[in-house]
Structure 1
Amino acid sequence: MTATLNKEAVGLAYSLEGMLHAKRKTWEAIDEMARRVKPGMLESEAQVMSLEVLNELGMDRIWHPSKIRFGENTLKTFKQRSDGDPVLAPNDIFFIDLGVVWDRHEGDSGATFTVGDDPEMKACAVAAKTLFDQVHDYWRTHKVAGPELYRYADEQATAMGWKLNLEIKGHRVSDFPHAIYRAGDLGNFEDCPNVGLWILEIQIAHPTRPFGAFYEDLLA
């Protein structure tokens, strides 16, 4: 129990409402960025734009580097560098992954979007959100630990015809900085994660084509 409590420790500023506010503001930023991403834009230009949006919305600070990935770079994990500086094509896929502090609390959300009319890209983007919702509901309904959440996610992704990237297994958040608690990945947390403390990450790949999709949000 002590280990669980340490891995779910929070600071003096923490409140669930603070986390939910950070979540709302992060989604506001993602939606605005997605509106500004257009075919013909370089991935690096989207990165610059993302900082402009966050400053416009009044962030406290960034707590992890913002990631906007175009095309084949949607297969990259957070720690991997993008290949080159691709231009968003007329039919293409991209995701936005933000880690931002709002009023001392850490927001961390991400989603995938498409431009044009490629049906498989559209399906991939939808599938990442659908799978996230299924796993989130499984957590809420069954109160399972982290390893079971990701076992279920892998099972469901396979049933849907996608490949789940099991290197991406979620992580802690709280009032800034959560990193002092060194809680490890959600997928390795051997207890049922509590509300407002963990980010569920889902990253899938198309089974044959070189792109994927990403979705993450707070377990709340």
Structure 2
Amino acid sequence: MNAIDKQAVGQAYSLDGMLHAKRMTWQAIEEMARRIKPGMLESQARAMGLEVLKEQGMDRIWHPLLIRFGTNTLKTFKQRSEGDPALGENDIFFIDLGVVWDRHEGDSGATLTTGNDPEMIACAAAAKTLFDRVRDHWEQQRVSGPELYRYAEEQAVAMGWILNLEIKGHRVSDFPHAIYRAGDLGDFEACPDVGLWILEIQIAHPTRPFGAFYEDLLS
């Protein structure tokens, strides 16, 4: 499959539709984050998250809602959480949403903290900072997917974090994007087009058992 095929879209697709899905997904993340409190179990947070999505009128979920607490922030998308931990008073957590709004796929994620642990706060901020640096590199240099993740790893090391290169981004589109079989962003040999790819960043603390996650649409 060539680069054109890997960036194909359906008849419903529009960039405005993708940007609307992005906005709605971030609104849902912000509302979930507002409701997540210390003492809540991961399972309770996920149930709450589904209620938020129903309240906001989603079309459907296209990938499972993930909310990870504490050491589970090191888990990749395909790995299951260890147990059902309660969020601590000084803790870290992330929210990862894949939701269809008006036939378009939103996919965003962010890391937040409770309390005042300085290294957790720094880790959450670093995931967003690294995302921004890589996105800016894409906008300014128009590089390929492998180059984006090479640059991401270089920047992560310079910042003092460990980048998880098992997480390398993916396609989105009008639902369902999966029919295009485009593979990971980090393996896409052309420059990714606007409004079609999710840049994912997952980092780990170099010595402590937690990490942070941030993802959003390249737009």
The TM-score range, normalised by the shorter chain, is over 0.9
Identity %: 79
**One-letter code aligned to 1:200:** L
Separation of aligned partners in 1, 2:195 and 2:88: 37
TM-fit CA distance, 1:218: 0.2
Aligned residue number for residue 135 of structure 1: 134
TM-fit CA distance, 1:111: 0.1
Aligned residue number for residue 97 of structure 2: 98
Aligned residue number for residue 155 of structure 2: 156
Q: Which residues in structure 2 correspond to 1:141-180 (within 5 Å)?
A: 141-180=140-179
Q: For 1:31, what is the secondary structure of its paired residue?
A: helix
TM-fit CA distance, 1:56: 0.3
1:107 lines up with 2:109 in the alignment: no
Gaps of 5+ in 2: none
Separation of aligned partners in 2, 1:36 and 1:128: 22
Aligned residue number for residue 18 of structure 1: 17
TM-fit CA distance, 1:20: 0.1
Separation of aligned partners in 1, 2:79 and 2:5: 29
Q: Which residues in structure 2 correspond to 1:1-220 (within 5 Å)?
A: 3-220=2-219
TM-fit CA distance, 1:120: 0.1
Runs of 4+ in 1 over 3 A off after TM superposition: none
**One-letter code aligned to 1:125:** A
Separation of aligned partners in 2, 1:43 and 1:64: 17
Separation of aligned partners in 1, 2:195 and 2:132: 16
Separation of aligned partners in 2, 1:31 and 1:205: 23
Separation of aligned partners in 1, 2:40 and 2:50: 15
Separation of aligned partners in 2, 1:92 and 1:152: 29
Q: TM-score, normalized by length of structure 2? A: 1.00
1:120-149 C-alpha deviation (Å, 9 max, x unpaired): 000000000000000000000000000000
Separation of aligned partners in 2, 1:21 and 1:102: 8
Separation of aligned partners in 1, 2:5 and 2:177: 11
Gaps of 5+ in 1: none
Q: For 1:63, what is the secondary structure of its paired residue?
A: strand
RMSD of aligned alpha carbons: 0.5
Separation of aligned partners in 2, 1:144 and 1:3: 17
TM-fit CA distance, 1:153: 0.1
**One-letter code aligned to 1:44:** S
